[in-house]
Amino acid sequence: MAEDLTIAEGAKGDIYQSLIPQIKGLLEGEPDLIANLANVAAALKEQFNWLWVGFYLVKPSSKTDGESELVLGPFQGPVACTRIKKGRGVCGTVWQNAETLIVPDVEKFPGHIACSSLSRSEIVIPLIKDIEVIGVLDVDADRLDQFDETDKKYLEEIISLISV
């Protein structure tokens, strides 16, 4: 039987529950957003060893057209695309819809932006200030179907701990 490295449902919840107090400790008393995003990305990468964990932040476009785009922020993993337009790829779609997206197979997501050919599945969570999306957390795995409602629940909780 092929070895299944997928973390069992319950075990994954337990891992998140032990990670959350550690993340709270990291964030406590630190107001700098970039420092906090960097530590959250590192803590998640360290814990789960996903292919890529990082943030994109909504910033003015590099062209002086008054538009905004997602710009690469703190991350852990292989080099990645630096700019993503609203509505493009998984990240741009989450920015547009302000809702978490779980993509079990990136090849089946129309318009998926392949920053790494090793990426197989993905989850993207919006970072919301008041009612506005100011960035996203993007997590990529090198295996199909690695994210589920447990990841959504706990990653949304972790994101809500970051003061934006």
**Contacts with ligand SME, residue ranges (CB under 6 A):** 52, 80-81, 84, 89-92, 112-113, 115, 119, 122, 138, 140
- Least gap, CB of 91 to ligand SME (angstroms): 3
- Pick 122 or 151: Cβ nearer ligand SME: 122
- Least gap, CB of 50 to ligand SME (angstroms): 11
DSSP string for residues in 147-161: --HHHHHHHHHHHHT
Coil vs helix vs strand at 63:
coil
Class of residue 21 by CB neighbours under 10 A (exposed 0-12, middle 13-18, buried 19+): exposed
- Pick 33 or 70: Cβ nearer ligand SME: 70
- Least gap, CB of 107 to ligand SME (angstroms): 11
Coil vs helix vs strand at 96:
helix
The one-character DSSP state at 59 is: E
- Least gap, CB of 94 to ligand SME (angstroms): 8
- Pick 69 or 122: Cβ nearer ligand SME: 122
**How many CA atoms are closer than 13 Å to the CA of 136, on its beta-carbon side?**
30
Residue with nearest beta carbon to ligand SME: 89
Find residue 126's DSSP bridge partners: 136
- Pick 13 or 104: Cβ nearer ligand SME: 104
- Pick 45 or 112: Cβ nearer ligand SME: 112
- Least gap, CB of 29 to ligand SME (angstroms): 30
CA dist., res. 29 & res. 80, Å (int): 30
DSSP string for residues in 78-92: S---SEE-TTSHHHH
